[in-house]
């Protein structure tokens, strides 16, 4: 056995015959809402002058600028409902737009997150993980077009083609989109129809049998404005991916569709109908590589187990996701804008896996355990009414945003699990069973419980100019969250027939932005958030609901600056912060079988982002973050873990990208990522050291419509752990290469 020291979850998945089949009720509701909204408002709006349409520019490729100056003057809708730019917002906000996604070759949403300061992400099939400002998945809000699904697994990596951009807000931000967001908020924003006509496509081939095809088109319907004074634009984006893996037996296939219809109805009234569908199937998914004993100190793996897959021979992860949105906007006047968004979500996820592996004490065999047959059936319906108004307050310019958000989120789980040993195998030469040959595992699903979360929220946001250079920003959000659990199995004292609990958090923000010079500003902010102590409410058990009498609260103090310098060739953003998360679940020192809400976790840190354009051909962009995250009051196994760092939380993350255009047609680029060490356990007894990844790229423009791009990822073939558990490392991919052909016209 060669030891490699590391330096310093049968019933087959029941998917519909037609892949993209929207729920009939959702379609009916959406159309009814759009129809009901339109006539009454349109009648009032006819007297209004039509709003001139801003020109839309479409780029056929990522240019060097994508890795250059920071987009400080772009609107960041996730950070404020007021339509503020990154520069105008008193918070650390970041945009990874389409140009940056393409320039850095981000293949899915998880790779996009690598561009955000301090964010790390990992994606074992049933354990989606995020670390942001020292806080993990349950304390980071992940939104889809501003909608919080309240369930971490809903944030599975999705191929990046259908996404326009990802926006991020660091730290406590529950006042924007509701419960969650103590560590930050991430918003994945899908491409929508534009007032233009274009076509684009991409073919990609790569290591381990990667084959991917993508197409996008945007069209104006009709040659001219019709007799009703309406104009329509249709957009369709479609992507299909088929790939093997560096891990034996793993094969994945995914398809994504995003389509939308934008209708300009006259009088400042517009309507967008958007539909998205995602289908993913992973055969024999990879869950991790076992760690060598002793399981303390620096983690080690056996190099001979690299690429070994200890899952069942027919292991499976699969998901089918559908989205429907109806967005109506009315510009009533130059000062008043109203909008309504109706949304419906339907998702089905299946797991059939043996998920945990560990070496025997003498490192001669691997013990396979934790067989799980699971189905998650989640549906969500909601509506958001919001508006913005430009007015005056005490003679000062004052901007207002307000809204009402209502949603009903339901999920049924169908688990069948075996916690004990499935088998013990030779680490290097082995075969594994078909899943339904495991004793106790048989085709079919039996429901466990239903989770229903009903949320009603009111919010108000304001920006007032105290002086021409000094602005005060305030926000307030009040929610009522009702959690209803229904037992679908045997009733016991610990598992009653049903249980309900409600929470009423109020969160807010107070911030100041001072434009010290035309090129630089200073800001300060105090903000709050709240989230469930046990994590996502959609996955809460009866014990979680009964024991968690209140929500976890988060408070953040942040100060920073955003500036341009070097005669416009440089931009930078700096933020320093402190976050305290109170009322977290910790073991009762007097009774190890109970938890009490007295725990506390904190983090303090600094984030620096910079973009440079030294010459028209050369651009550089990077960010660095450092966070001191620790438990202030936390009990586990009767032992205090005060002062310990949370699991899978690196102290520092560095990202650097550079692009250089050698000729008008030829461009080279590189990306460097340095991630600090992480701990596998809250006691900090088992760790994985820091690692550095290098990506290289070369693009050649054949003609104005066609570009070839070649990429080498993890060029140094570094072995690294994206996440760590007490017995396994979820390793990142080794060196891979791909080549793509892009067309745009």
Q: In sequence order, what DSSP letters do the residues of 60-93 get, joined into one string?
A: SS--GGGGSS--TTSB-TTT-TT--BTTTSSS-E
Neighbours of 489 (CB within 10 A): 10
- Residues 581-595, mean pLDDT to the nearest whole number: 73
What pLDDT is attached to residue 637? 77
- Residues 402-429, mean pLDDT to the nearest whole number: 95
Q: What is the pLDDT of residues 634-676, one digit of tens each?
A: 888 778 899 999 999 999 999 999 999 999 999 999 999 999 9
What pLDDT is attached to residue 29? 34
Measured distance CA(199)–CA(706) in Å, rounded: 12
pLDDT at 34 over 50: no
| Of the candidates 9, 349, 343, 293, the residue with the CA atom closest to the CA atom of residue 154 | 349
pLDDT at 46 over 60: no
Band of the pLDDT at 38, cuts 50, 70, 90?
very low
- Residues 266-286, mean pLDDT to the nearest whole number: 96
Measured distance CA(433)–CA(423) in Å, rounded: 9
Measured distance CA(166)–CA(188) in Å, rounded: 5
Predicted TM-score (pTM) of the model is 0.90
What b-and-e string marks burial along 313-351, b requiring 16 or more CB atoms within 10 Å of the CB?
Answer: ebbbbbbbbbbbbbbbbbbbeeeebbbbbbbbbbbbbbb
Contact 95, 74 (CB under 8 A): yes
Measured distance CA(246)–CA(262) in Å, rounded: 42
Measured distance CA(355)–CA(312) in Å, rounded: 9
Band of the pLDDT at 21, cuts 50, 70, 90?
very low
Instruction: Tell whether omega for the bond before 294 is within 30 degrees of 0, i.e. cis.
Output: yes
Residue with the larger pLDDT of the pair 17 and 336 = 336
What pLDDT is attached to residue 32? 35
What pLDDT is attached to residue 369? 96
Task: Give the three-state DSSP class for 254.
Answer: strand
- Residue 614 DSSP code: S
Measured distance CA(336)–CA(535) in Å, rounded: 38
What's the start-to-end Cα distance of the chain, in Å? 56
**CA 37 to mean position of chain CA atoms:** 32
* Mean pLDDT computed over every residue of the chain: 89
Write down the H helix ranges in 235-331: none
- Residues 680-697, mean pLDDT to the nearest whole number: 96
What percent of the chain has a predicted confidence (pLDDT) above 70?
89
- DSSP string of 589-626? TTEEEEEEEEEEEEEEEEEEEEEE-SSSSEEEEEEEEE
| Of the candidates 655, 654, 657, 629, the residue with the CA atom closest to the CA atom of residue 643 | 629
Residue 583 burial by Cβ neighbours in a 10 Å radius (0-12, 13-18, 19+): buried
What pLDDT is attached to residue 593? 60
Q: What is the pLDDT of residues 442-496, one digit of tens each?
A: 999 999 999 999 999 999 999 999 999 999 999 999 999 999 999 999 999 989 9
Is the backbone of residue 576 left (phi > 0), alpha (psi -120 to 50) or beta?
Answer: beta
Measured distance CA(477)–CA(61) in Å, rounded: 40
pLDDT at 10 over 70: no
Band of the pLDDT at 20, cuts 50, 70, 90?
very low
Span of 40-54, 73-87, 99-113 with lowest mean pLDDT:
40-54
Structure tokens at 605: 């840190």
- Residues 596-609, mean pLDDT to the nearest whole number: 91
Write down the H helix ranges in 527-680: 542-547
| Of the candidates 338, 369, 376, the residue with the CA atom closest to the CA atom of residue 354 | 369
Band of the pLDDT at 39, cuts 50, 70, 90?
very low
Band of the pLDDT at 52, cuts 50, 70, 90?
very low
What pLDDT is attached to residue 545? 86
In Å, what is the CA distance from 80 to each residue of 177, 211, 508? 10, 39, 12
The CA angle 335-336-339, to the nearest 5 degrees, is: 150
Neighbours of 395 (CB within 10 A): 7
What pLDDT is attached to residue 3? 47
- Residues 286-296, mean pLDDT to the nearest whole number: 97
Structure tokens at 419: 């916690």
């Amino acid at each position: 056995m060669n030891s490699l020291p590391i330096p310093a979850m049968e019933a087959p998945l029941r998917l519909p015959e037609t892949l993209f089949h929207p729920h009939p009720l959702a379609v009916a509701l959406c159309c009814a809402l759009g129809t009901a909204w339109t006539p009454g408002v349109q009648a009032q709006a006819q007297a209004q002058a039509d709003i001139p349409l801003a020109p839309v520019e479409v780029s056929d490729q990522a240019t060097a600028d994508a890795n250059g100056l920071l987009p400080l003057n772009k609107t960041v809708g996730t950070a404020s409902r007021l339509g503020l730019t990154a520069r105008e917002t008193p918070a650390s906000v970041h945009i990874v737009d389409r140009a940056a996604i393409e320039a850095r070759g981000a293949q899915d949403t998880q790779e996009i997150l690598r561009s955000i300061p301090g964010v790390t992400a990992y994606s074992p099939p049933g354990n989606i993980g995020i670390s942001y400002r020292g806080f993990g998945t349950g304390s980071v809000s992940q939104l889809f077009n501003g909608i919080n699904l309240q369930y971490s697994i809903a944030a599975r990596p999705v191929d990046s083609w259908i996404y326009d951009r990802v926006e991020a807000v660091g730290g406590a931000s529950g006042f924007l989109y509701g419960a969650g967001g103590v560590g930050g908020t991430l918003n994945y924003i899908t491409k929508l129809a534009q007032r233009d006509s274009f076509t684009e496509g991409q073919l990609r081939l790569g290591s381990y049998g990667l084959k991917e095809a993508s197409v996008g088109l945007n069209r104006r319907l009709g040659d001219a404005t019709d007799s009703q004074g309406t104009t329509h634009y249709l957009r369709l984006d479609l992507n299909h991916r088929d790939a093997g893996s560096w891990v034996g037996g793993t094969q994945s296939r995914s398809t994504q569709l995003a389509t939308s219809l934008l209708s300009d109805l006259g009088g400042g009234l517009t309507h967008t109908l958007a539909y998205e569908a995602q289908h993913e199937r992973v055969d024999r998914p990879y869950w991790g590589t076992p760690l060598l004993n002793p399981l303390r100190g620096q983690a080690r793996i056996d190099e001979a187990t690299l690429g070994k897959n200890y899952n069942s021979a027919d292991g499976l992860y699969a998901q089918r996701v559908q989205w429907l949105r109806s967005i109506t906007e009315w510009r009533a006047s130059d000062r008043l804008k109203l909008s309504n968004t109706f949304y419906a979500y339907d998702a089905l996820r299946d797991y059939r896996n043996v998920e945990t592996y560990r070496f025997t004490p003498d490192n001669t065999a691997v013990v396979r355990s934790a067989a799980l047959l699971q189905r998650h059936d989640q549906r969500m319906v909601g509506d958001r009414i919001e508006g913005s108004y430009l007015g005056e307050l005490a003679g000062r310019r004052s901007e207002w945003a307000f809204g009402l958000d209502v949603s009903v989120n339901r999920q049924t789980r169908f688990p069948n699990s075996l916690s004990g040993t499935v088998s013990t195998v030779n680490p290097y030469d082995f075969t594994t069973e078909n899943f339904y040959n495991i004793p106790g595992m048989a085709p079919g699903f039996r429901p466990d419980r239903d989770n229903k979360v009903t949320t009603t929220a009111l919010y108000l946001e304001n920006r007032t100019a105290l002086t021409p250079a000094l602005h005060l920003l305030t926000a307030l959000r009040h929610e009522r969250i009702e959690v209803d659990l229904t037992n679908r199995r045997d009733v016991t004292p610990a598992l009653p027939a049903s249980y309900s609990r409600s929470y009423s958090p109020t969160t807010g923000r107070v911030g100041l932005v001072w434009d010290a010079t035309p090129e630089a500003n200073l800001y300060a902010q105090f903000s709050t958030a709240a989230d469930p102590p046990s994590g996502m409410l959609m996955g809460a058990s009866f014990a979680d609901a009964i024991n968690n009498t209140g929500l976890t609260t988060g408070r953040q103090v942040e100060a920073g600056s955003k500036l341009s310098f070097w005669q416009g060739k440089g931009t930078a953003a700096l933020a320093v912060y402190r976050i305290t998360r109170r009322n977290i679940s910790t073991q009762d020192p007097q009774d190890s079988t109970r938890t009490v809400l007295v725990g506390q976790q904190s983090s303090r840190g600094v984030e620096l982002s910079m973009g440079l354009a030294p010459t028209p051909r050369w651009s550089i962009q990077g960010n660095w973050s450092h966070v001191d995250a620790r438990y202030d009051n936390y009990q586990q196994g009767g032992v205090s873990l005060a002062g310990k760092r949370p699991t899978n939380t690196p102290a520092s993350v560095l990202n650097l990208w550079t692009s250089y255009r050698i000729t008008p047609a030829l461009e080279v680029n590189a990306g460097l990522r340095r991630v600090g060490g992480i701990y596998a356990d809250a006691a900090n007894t088992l760790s994985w050291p820091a690692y550095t990844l290098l990506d290289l790229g070369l693009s050649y423009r054949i003609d104005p419509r066609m570009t070839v791009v070649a990429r080498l990822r993890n060029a140094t073939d570094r072995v690294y752990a994206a996440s760590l558990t007490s017995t396994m490392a979820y390793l990142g991919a080794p060196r891979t290469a791909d080549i793509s052909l892009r067309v745009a016209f």
